[in-house]
């Protein structure tokens, strides 16, 4: 059992929790994730390690309440426990000591982006960031990112914060203005990451992405998280979740994501999760 020692509501659908998990806290690095089960009979939920405190032996996660299991997690409060908290899983991100990097985070994708950018800053890399969301309410971790970023730009679908439009609109402007980045790290919905790569690939700008296909065992055994990268089959749980975005077959990822949509909808019926469909 793993004790919840802090909980914050970040907006109407996103919450943050800090959980005592000594083994994970001792070993984890940016880019890695955990799989938790809320209860003994619960489903396994993969969530990125957003932050960790090795002295306190705690790990911070941020989750969007989208379906049954994340709704069960949301019912837990400080002092409660979760049944399992397995990790660190996946590969740490290969962060390079570049001169200048641009991070692009969409929606809850800002959560996995944050630990990577924070580490790059600690390595002496100059970091610019574009934060995007449906509206101002869905921009998370703004203060945390501002603590180290040189420049922070915003894009919202409804124009309630920053540029009205997509993160790629801001990206194109920055590149048109002559900004040079050694690497771009984009994390968010698949369509967003694909759109970023559509801009960066023709220009040959190195672009890292983080894939989150449906995961079941998280050990490379079930094949659920199969993705094609550079023509090779990879498993996001053990080979990723971070990959070279210029080599990812996004069209296949999108097809596989849509393949599960109907089943997930059917699974949620009667469990109360249909409200989040």
Q: Which stretch binds ligand FAD (CB under 6 A): 66-74, 138-146, 181-189, 191-199?
A: 66-74
Closest of 105, 138, 139, 14 to residue 64, by C-alpha: 14
Residue number with CB closer to ligand FAD (70 or 93): 70
Taking CB within 5 to 8 Å according to partner kind, which of ligand FAD, ligand FES, none is near residue 43?
A: ligand FAD
Q: Which stretch binds ligand FAD (CB under 6 A): 59-67, 79-87, 180-188, 196-204?
A: 59-67
Closest of 124, 128, 129 to residue 97, by C-alpha: 124
Helix extents (H) in 182-234: 190-200
Closest of 38, 117, 28, 115 to residue 73, by C-alpha: 38
Helix extents (H) in 28-137: 68-74, 110-122
Of 113-152, which residues contact ligand FES (CB under 6 A)?
none
Measured at CB, which residue is nearest to ligand FAD? 67
One character per residue 2-21, x = contact with ligand FES (rule: CB under 6 A):
--------------------
Identify any residues that bridge with 105 across adjacent strands, giving them in sequence order.
131, 187
CA distance 139 to 137: 6
CA distance 85 to 67: 19
How many other C-beta atoms can be found within 10 angstroms of the C-beta atom of residue 54? 11
Number of amino acids touching ligand FES (CB under 6 A): 12
Residue number with CB closer to ligand FAD (68 or 153): 68
Q: 5, 66, 152, 206: which one contacts ligand FAD (CB under 6 A)?
A: 66
Query: Are the C-beta atoms of 60 and 52 separated by less than 8 Å?
Result: yes
Element at 184 (helix H, strand E): strand 183-187
Of 106-125, which residues contact ligand FAD (CB under 6 A)?
108, 111-112
Residue number with CB closer to ligand FES (67 or 241): 241
Of 17-56, which residues contact ligand FAD (CB under 6 A)?
33, 43, 45-48
Half-sphere exposure of 103 (CA within 13 A, CB side): 32
Of 74-103, which residues contact ligand FAD (CB under 6 A)?
none
Taking CB within 5 to 8 Å according to partner kind, which of ligand FES, ligand FAD, none is near residue 217?
A: ligand FES
| Residue 201 neighbours by CB under 8 Å, 6+ apart | 207, 246
- In the complex, which residues of this chain contact ligand FES (CB under 6 A)? 215-218, 220-225, 235, 237
- In the complex, which residues of this chain contact ligand FAD (CB under 6 A)? 33, 43, 45-48, 62-64, 66-70, 108, 111-112, 212, 214-215, 241, 264, 268, 273
């Amino acid at each position: 059992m793993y004790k919840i020692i802090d909980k914050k509501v970040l907006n109407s659908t996103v919450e943050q929790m800090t959980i005592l998990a000594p083994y994970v806290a001792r070993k984890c690095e940016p880019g890695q994730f955990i799989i938790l089960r809320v209860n003994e009979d619960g489903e396994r939920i993969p969530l990125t390690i957003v932050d960790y405190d090795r002295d306190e032996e705690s790990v911070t996660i941020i989750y969007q309440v989208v379906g049954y299991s994340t709704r069960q997690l949301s019912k837990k409060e400080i002092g409660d426990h979760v049944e399992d908290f397995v990790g660190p899983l996946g590969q740490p991100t290969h962060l390079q000591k570049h001169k200048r990097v641009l991070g692009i985070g969409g929606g809850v994708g800002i959560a996995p982006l944050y630990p990577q950018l924070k580490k790059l800053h600690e390595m002496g890399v100059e970091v610019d960031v574009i934060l995007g969301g449906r509206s101002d309410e869905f921009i998370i971790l703004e203060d945390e990112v501002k603590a180290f970023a040189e420049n922070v730009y915003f894009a919202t679908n409804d124009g309630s914060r920053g540029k009205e439009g997509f993160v790629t609109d801001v990206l194109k402007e920055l590149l048109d203005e002559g900004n040079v980045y050694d690497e771009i790290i984009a994390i968010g919905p698949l369509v967003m990451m694909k759109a970023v790569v559509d801009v960066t690939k023709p220009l040959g700008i190195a672009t890292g992405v983080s894939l989150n296909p449906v995961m079941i065992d998280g050990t490379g055994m079930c094949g659920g998280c199969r993705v094609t990268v550079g023509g090779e089959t990879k498993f996001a749980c053990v080979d990723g979740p971070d990959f070279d975005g210029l080599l990812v077959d996004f069209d296949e990822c999108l097809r596989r994501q849509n393949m599960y949509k109907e089943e997930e909808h059917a699974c949620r019926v009667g469990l109360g999760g249909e409200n989040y469909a």
